[in-house]
Structure 1
Amino acid sequence: MTEIDDIVSHMQRFSWPDYLVFTLMLFMCILIGIYFGFMQSKSMDEDDYLMGGRTMMVFPISLSLIASFISGITLLGLPTEVYSYGIQYVYVAGGVIFMGFVMGIFYLPVFHDLNITSTYEYLEKRFDSRLRLFGSIMFTLMNIAYLPIVIYVPALAFNQVTGVSVHTITPVVCIVCIFYTCVGGLKAVVWTDVIQTFSMFGALLLVAVKGTYDLGSSRALAVITEGIESERIEWPDFNIDPTIRHTIWSQIIGGVFYWTQTNAVSQNMIQRYLSLPSLKAGRQALTIFVVGVMALMMLCSYNGLLIYATYKGCDPLTTKLAKVRDQLLPLFVMDILRDLPGLSGLFIAGVFSAALSSLSTCLNSMSAVVLEDFFKPYVKNPLSDRAVDWIMRSVVVLLGILCLCLVYVVEKMGTVLQLTMSLEAITNGPLFGIFTLGIFMPWINGSSALTGGILGVVLMSWISLNAQWGIASGAIKYDTKILSIENCTYKFDTTNVITNSTELTSKSNDIFVLYKISYMWYTCLGAVATIIVAILCMLIFGRNDIKKVDKALITPCIRKFMSDQKMQETNGYSTKNIPNKLKHSESAL
């Protein structure tokens, strides 16, 4: 055993109070699932299971949105990002704010008035069944690729603080999540998310307060000072070069595209907004979501600066005290909390809470998509209640098992924050482009939109996968901020500490320029390419007859430029089917 191993082993003091706190968090999730699944007087039908009866309250839905989006990937990845590269990524907060306005004004009013369950039902109403199937398949494939990462990241943290294998803890946590999602439906998912959101905030605050206290008399001032001196705290980069990893343009413009897609048209998030009884409630939830996400991002960023202020003279990544980048925050937690029983367990419970909320959200959303888009449109006779119930719950179980198996693949890949956003963009950008075509451009028909979407997926697959291969092979490498090992008090292997920068530069120069584009531009690039191709395809497939497009399917700001026809019945859809509580006059919009 090396000295590094001795140090890590000494830090791994996950005592029985820590295990107790962690277990209580899992047990509470199980109890919530049991309550909503078995103890309510009213039996749960399809609308209750998938949409919470469309009568959910704003505050719990808001917290569920925060918990669903802020997974363990963000909790562990963002502090590491700030520690290694500085706060340039954090300027994406500007994109988050703009997203709130864009979604609330243009996208949310359309979906909230349609009384749909699957977001991709919109594509059939606006275009045709081909687009609905295309969107559902893309969503399914990306969820299958995304969920193993969600599971793997907190397992890394657990491994760092306990020494327990990743493949030992992931089955336990997955079984708990599958159980309460399967039996409790959306209400169980939302209310576990509420608890898990408080757990996340508590864990991050705990680390921030204890880590700052341990710095001594200067404390928080030292964190800011060290951040400025090491250039981790810096002004936005206004360079227009799209190959620079983070600039103000990639964070604001690229961030708006990424966050709007994720919130406005993704089934994982929009299903929560549609479970609220009114558009006003949806906008209130959106506002709370934006504020909550920004607060969590600031807290994660501060913890990244705090880690640097603590380890500025001996970088744990260089010495391999942390085996991979995403174990940096758990290492820091072990260091500052190892003598306080129960607190390490609280932190790990917070990280797993983030993962469980994202996992349960995706599982619940997938059950909605599979039922509404892969079964109902293709059966001759209406499904019985028993068949619907069996399909919804089977999807949760089978997808959970599949993603658990795919964890073995994910652990061979790179840093999760960039990896996740890069892979998501393969489908997210083109899908966002298709929805934007439908909502803003009534003259675009289904054939043009489908062609744009397919070519967009091909383009983004080519760029994203080649870029990830370049990063994995070392051909694409991004310079980190200053990381020193001059003041280390323990021995470590120095064989691979010094990198041949000339060789790396040579490899980077051989990479095709499109592969070097910042991953923050991927969603934007995929969406814009899809839109441009669809517009050009009008030369082949012609224009849509705007008079036949239901105005309810178009964003309110475009409706006033259309003819004065009333919202009419198209594609088997009629606004008269919308419940009164969901209707809103155009004047109110």
Structure 2
Amino acid sequence: MAQDADTDGDGPSGYFSLIDYSVFGGMLLISALIGIYFAFFAKQKQNTTKEYLMGGKSMGIFPISMSLIASYISGISLLGIPAEMYTFGSQYYVVVFSEIMVSVTMAFAFIPVFHGLNITSSYEYLRLRFNKPVRLMGSAIFMIKMMLYIPIVIYMPALAFNQVTGINLHYITPVVCIVCIFYTTLGGLKAVVWTDTLQTIIMFLGLIVVMVFGTTQVGGLATVIERNAQSGRLELFDFDIDPTTRHTFWTLSFGNYFNWLAACSVNQAMVQRCLAMPTMKQAKTAILILTCGIFTIVSMCCYSGLVVYAAFHDCDPMLRGLVKKSDQILPYFVTQMGKSIPGLPGLFVAGVFSAALSSMSTGLNSITAVFYEDFVKPSVKKPWSEAKASFVMKVVVFVVGTICVGNVFFVERLGAAIQVVKSMSGITAGALLGTFSLGLFFPWANSKGTLAGGISSILLVAWISFGSQSNIAAGKIKFPKKPVTLEGCSLAQLSGLNTTAASILHINNEITSPDVFYFYRLSYLWYTLIGVTTCCTVGLLVSFATGANKPQDVDQKLLSPIIHRFIDSPKKQESHMLQPVEEKLLTST
């Protein structure tokens, strides 16, 4: 396939046909129509806070499961994971082991508490367990995290669209985001969940088509495996214990466990969907389906990356200057297949944008829930009418969405998507997971300790993360990449290139400068664990120094079920002692 690519010198803009635009436009149109349906034609209109934020707590297992999968799988995953395989090898696939364990932890240690309290925002829990300042700290951290995350989510599919059409990503980004803001604003959670369902199906379909046709074009599964094995890309069990090594079995299983636990178990975007289920049993079923879906789609993304390398194993498009960033390698591969398969580029881009739209709409809806429940509602002296509350929430969606679209223009300067996202999320993820862990698993923790722990965690991880990113940008921190070559390129493909013997086979043997501070060299996958450890350690120390809680004074409804057996509390037998939680819930509402 490499020999046939771009022999005419044309850019990728010629590969998006009318059929492709129709497929892509159809996805956007249907998404918008779903929002219109739930806003104006559904039996239950989205004009109450319960309907708008929680779908009336009557959502079914299938759409919630699809929405959970869509919330996790963004354009970052669909483009970033194949790029990871192509550039660094298959070691990253080990993350699926940690993600399975996270789902079990989420189902049995976290969600039962939130679901049992019948709350809307997961940060309401912090008010019940600690006090209002802790709740506001958690809510603010979450909103900052999502405001940083959403622009990256939007940028990734715009990058793919640019690669397959040649259209400036600054033109397509506002158009697509307007559609997302439109249906999220009008239709609330139900519109978000059902568009997520549609978009998840499109994601799977796009990846399946790319995998099947890609494997066929390179010569079959055996060829894919052989070419990747010869380049040293097939590796899974690197047991190097050096914490500065970017990806090892330990960083991807143990380190990523905490990263993903924070992203799912205490993240409003994920928790809100579980809370929208009528029963805890249905919520657990949705989480089980989520686990299967993530395992499947991550496996598909990883295999797609191996297929792409097999296609370009002897004529690398990055060395030829046809691809500027590694995250564009899969879209470029699709443009090559699109020459013989009409509609494929349109389906692929629709799938990538579907992943982005689902993540963006989920983020906007969850930010709105947190902002209204944790900031607006407690500060209003007289309760608002449902119509006024619904209007305010829609305004919040519009304003936050507009800000996120504006921030997309700052994302272009960032590096590889997977690393950047997890590095930045680690700043807030560790603090959030640590804060909730103090409440759920450590009955001795008090509000003063939790505040001190959360703030300390953010400051420490932010210092490490920004220090690392600045050194990467300065070229002081480098990561060894797998070899690529131009030895199989035709003369036509090499025309205009200044090729030398050294550039025919390119191996990145550069190493990180020894002058870089040790903590800046730590693998980004340890950031969340560092944050959690710091938060819990500082939180407990300050709690004991300022008067720790007595376990018997903490309502068991606020503690994780997995530690009930270890806590000697008279509230196990005295059900009337559980009233303080109900009283706090009434007060907070």
- Shorter-normalised TM range: over 0.9
1:386 is displaced (CA, Å) by 2.6
List aligned pairs for 1:133-172, cutoff 5 A.
133-172=136-175
1:270 equivalent in alignment to 2:275: no
Match of 1:569 in 2: 579
1:129 equivalent in alignment to 2:132: yes
CA distance in 1, matches of 2:115, 2:582: 18
Q: Tell me which amino acid in the other structure corresponds to 2:486.
A: I
Q: Is the 8 A contact 1:124 1:571 kept in 2?
A: no
Residues 488-531 of structure 1: per-residue CA shift (max 9 Å, x gap): 222354489869979x54x6211111011111111111111111
Residues 211-257 of structure 1: per-residue CA shift (max 9 Å, x gap): 111123xx111111122222211241111111111111111111211
Residues 173-195 of structure 1: per-residue CA shift (max 9 Å, x gap): 00100010000000011111111
Q: Is the 8 A contact 1:200 1:350 kept in 2?
A: yes
1:459 equivalent in alignment to 2:460: yes
Match of 1:580 in 2: none
Residues 120-174 of structure 1: per-residue CA shift (max 9 Å, x gap): 1001100110111001111111111111101110000000010110010001100
Query: For residues 6 and 375 of structure 1, do their structure 2 counterparts lie closer, same or farther at Cα, with a shift above 3 Å needed?
Result: farther
Query: For residues 304 and 500 of structure 1, do their structure 2 counterparts lie closer, same or farther at Cα, with a shift above 3 Å needed?
Result: closer
Q: Is the 8 A contact 1:200 1:351 kept in 2?
A: yes
Match of 1:335 in 2: 336
TM-score, with length taken from structure 2: 0.94
1:4 is displaced (CA, Å) by 7.5
Query: For residues 334 and 500 of structure 1, do their structure 2 counterparts lie closer, same or farther at Cα, with a shift above 3 Å needed?
Result: closer
TM-score, with length taken from structure 1: 0.94
Query: For residues 495 and 141 of structure 1, do their structure 2 counterparts lie closer, same or farther at Cα, with a shift above 3 Å needed?
Result: farther
Q: How many residues align?
A: 572
1:63 equivalent in alignment to 2:66: yes
Query: For residues 328 and 387 of structure 1, do their structure 2 counterparts lie closer, same or farther at Cα, with a shift above 3 Å needed?
Result: same
List aligned pairs for 1:171-570, cutoff 5 A.
171-216=174-219, 219-489=220-490, 490-491=493-494, 493-494=497-498, 505=511, 508-560=513-565, 561-565=567-571, 566=575, 568-570=578-580
| Identical-pair percentage | 45
1:576 is displaced (CA, Å) by 10
- Stretches of structure 2 that go unaligned for 5 or more consecutive residues are none
Q: Is the 8 A contact 1:125 1:573 kept in 2?
A: no
CA distance in 2, matches of 1:31, 1:495: 52
Q: Tell me which amino acid in the other structure corresponds to 1:39.
A: F
CA distance in 1, matches of 2:247, 2:507: 24
Match of 1:586 in 2: none
Equivalent residue in structure 2 for 1:29, among 24, 28, 31: 31
Query: For residues 112 and 8 of structure 1, do their structure 2 counterparts lie closer, same or farther at Cα, with a shift above 3 Å needed?
Result: farther
Q: Tell me which amino acid in the other structure corresponds to 1:48.
A: E
1:387 is displaced (CA, Å) by 2.3
Q: Is the 8 A contact 1:119 1:267 kept in 2?
A: yes
1:457 is displaced (CA, Å) by 0.1
Query: For residues 387 and 575 of structure 1, do their structure 2 counterparts lie closer, same or farther at Cα, with a shift above 3 Å needed?
Result: closer
1:547 is displaced (CA, Å) by 2.9
1:556 is displaced (CA, Å) by 1.1
CA distance in 1, matches of 2:293, 2:122: 24
Match of 1:585 in 2: none
- Stretches of structure 1 that go unaligned for 5 or more consecutive residues are 578-589
Computed over aligned residues only, the root mean square deviation of the Cα atoms, in angstroms, reads 2.0
Q: Tell me which amino acid in the other structure corresponds to 2:293.
A: G
Match of 1:584 in 2: none
List aligned pairs for 1:45-124, cutoff 5 A.
45-124=48-127
Query: For residues 168 and 126 of structure 1, do their structure 2 counterparts lie closer, same or farther at Cα, with a shift above 3 Å needed?
Result: same
Q: Tell me which amino acid in the other structure corresponds to 1:109.
A: P
Query: For residues 112 and 220 of structure 1, do their structure 2 counterparts lie closer, same or farther at Cα, with a shift above 3 Å needed?
Result: same
Q: Tell me which amino acid in the other structure corresponds to 1:205.
A: I
CA distance in 2, matches of 1:552, 1:493: 67
CA distance in 2, matches of 1:531, 1:290: 28
Q: Tell me which amino acid in the other structure corresponds to 1:375.
A: V
Q: Tell me which amino acid in the other structure corresponds to 2:421.
A: T
